[in-house]
Amino acid sequence: MNHPVSILIASRHDKDQKYISAILSEHKDFFIAGVEKDESSVIIKSERLKPNILILDFQLPMIDLPDLARIIRRKSPSTAIIILSEKDEPNLAYYALKAGVSGFLLKKEDVDKLALIVRVILSGGCYISVSIITGIFNASFFKNHFQGQFSEHDLTAFTQVERNIVIDLANGLSYSQIAEHLNYSAGSIRNFLTAIKRKTKLKNCIQIVVFALVSGLIHFDHLQN
């Protein structure tokens, strides 16, 4: 029998806590390991419980959100972090993603899909709202500091299969879904992703998606709304 998926929820607001818990509790293989309201409790519980997933409400932190993500990732490397935000925060989103966050979601767009997104991330995938990706791409700070660096990559080094994999990642597909869609084994998809990470010198799939959009490896019309 498989172990249940342990999920820690962090939010200041009782209404959000209850709503998120209710969505996830409908799934018998999900286990709500705890619900916390402040940063210190989240850090302590993450280190002690080592949950599979931490759902972090953007409104929670009084400290820098990327720093909080780094602390949690350091104390519990196996925990995947999903951030929920009320509004587009492209600057914050970019630095949170660099800190190792696996998902950045907008409540108004994505909270009802939370269970599906959890499964995508558990399978090794990632999820970021299309509007967040668009905001990151359009943010002046990003263009000024990163777009030139990304445009230096030789895009001819990427095969069509690798491009297709990145398109599927950008659309929130899990590794197994990508494998089925492209008619490859899951192991082959992981090997392709290893090659993509080596070529881009990036560590996770969300960073790869942002890189692919900014560099022109894939385009916004590849994204499903």
Q: Is 41 in the same domain as 117?
A: yes
Q: Is 129 in the same domain as 50?
A: yes
User: Is the pLDDT score of 151 beyond 60?
Assistant: no
Q: pLDDT value at position 81?
A: 94
Q: Is 37 in the same domain as 94?
A: yes
Contact call for residues 69 and 46 (beta carbons, < 8 A)? no
Q: Is 208 in the same domain as 159?
A: yes
Q: Is 89 in the same domain as 57?
A: yes
User: Is the pLDDT score of 36 beyond 70?
Assistant: yes
Q: Is 48 in the same domain as 131?
A: yes
**Could you read off the pLDDT of 25-35 as tens digits, one per residue?**
899 899 999 99
Q: pLDDT value at position 14?
A: 86
DSSP string, 52-81: SEEEEETTS-SS-HHHHHHHHHHH-TT-EE
Of all residues in the chain, the percent with pLDDT exceeding 90 is 30
* Domains in the chain, number: 2
Q: Is 110 in the same domain as 160?
A: no
Q: pLDDT value at position 185?
A: 93
Given 84, 103, 137, the domain boundary residue is 137
The token duo for 4 is 């249940």
CATH number at residue 194: 1.10.10.10
Poorest-confidence range of 43-52, 150-159, 211-220? 150-159
Residue 49 — very low, low, confident or very high, per pLDDT cuts 50/70/90?
very high
Given 137, 161, 192, the domain boundary residue is 137
Q: Is 156 in the same domain as 126?
A: no
Sheet architecture: strand order including 103-106: 30-36, 5-10, 53-57, 80-85, 103-106, 127-128
Q: Which domain holds residue 216?
A: 144-222
pTM: 0.78
**Could you read off the pLDDT of 68-112 as tens digits, one per residue?**
889 999 999 999 999 988 877 777 777 887 788 888 888 887 788
**Mean pLDDT, rounded, of the chain:** 83
Q: Is 31 in the same domain as 105?
A: yes
Higher pLDDT, 60 or 210: 210
Q: Is 71 in the same domain as 90?
A: yes
Q: pLDDT value at position 1?
A: 42
Q: Give the C-alpha distances (Å, rounded to integers) separating 105 from 30, 83, 85, 90.
A: 19, 6, 6, 12
Q: pLDDT value at position 210?
A: 77
Q: Is 118 in the same domain as 215?
A: no
Higher pLDDT, 208 or 225: 208
Contact call for residues 11 and 60 (beta carbons, < 8 A)? yes
User: Is the pLDDT score of 65 beyond 60?
Assistant: yes
